[in-house]
Amino acid sequence: MSINHKKHTHLDVVLGKTSPFAITEAYKTMRTNLSFALADAKNKRVVITSSLPNEGKSTTATNIAITLAQTGKKTLLIDADMRKPTQYKIFRLTRGNGLSSLLGGFTKPENTIVEDVRENLDLITSGPIPPNPTELLSSSKMRELLEELNKTYEYIILDTPPINIVSDALALADICAGVVLVIRQNQTKHETLQKAIKSLEFAEMKILGAVVTHAGNERKSRYYRYMKYKSYKE
């Protein structure tokens, strides 16, 4: 699936009433495909990552969460990028207590969840930047937290750091349904993408699909194509 974010900041492309029709429809296509991909999954927790920074993963995570919430399903967006968090900026909040606070045992979910950042959508920010993000994400507390949150939320979307930089996303492999890989047109290189895919496969993390961001209108006829990850192995 291709999404044209060209010449926009992350604040400009958060879905809303004035969002361009093509972008809105592209995310609805992604929502449909995710719904099918998660139909038989044990849980509906989805990791969003990219191979390198500045490929649009955080905006993609935000908009996927928004479109899922628009179906009336209670959805939670977690900023699991505790190294370079973005979600609090997107929603114009302070980091405050967040995921790192929860995993560190300093607070409880009811004191951390920002309710109704959009209709049916709640948010957990990253919290203060910790010294050990990977260890926190792979901890038993993270597993316990997600199990507890699943009692309230139909979908949980996790925005994680780029996979070729740090292994944080891989720490979630056995507690999430799978991953969506974000690719930036004319920036993400084939060898970089291959490295990310191999890392995910080595961790036995199911790749649910990919989103191509900053796609130009010259490919308009293929604008809504859902990108199966296997096509990048050819």
Domain span including residue 146:
2-233
Query: Residues 138, 89, 1, CA angle at the centre, nearest 5°?
Result: 70
CATH code for the domain in which residue 221 is found: 3.40.50.300
How many structural domains is the chain composed of? 1
Are the beta carbons of 82 and 100 closer than 8 angstroms?
Answer: yes
Query: Residues 24, 158, 82, CA angle at the centre, nearest 5°?
Result: 120
Distance CA 132, CA 158 (A): 18
Q: What is the pTM of this model?
A: 0.88
Q: Spell out the per-residue pLDDT of the chain, length 234, in tens.
A: 545 444 443 434 788 888 888 888 889 999 999 999 999 999 999 999 999 999 999 999 999 999 999 999 999 999 999 999 999 999 999 988 999 999 999 999 999 999 999 999 999 999 999 999 999 999 999 999 999 999 999 999 999 999 999 999 999 999 999 999 999 988 999 999 999 999 999 999 999 999 988 876 444 433 333 344 333 333
Q: Is the dihedral of CA 207, 83, 90, 171 positive or negative?
A: positive
Question: Which H or E run contains 3?
Answer: strand 2-3
Best CA proximity match to 51, nearest among 160, 156, 133 = 160
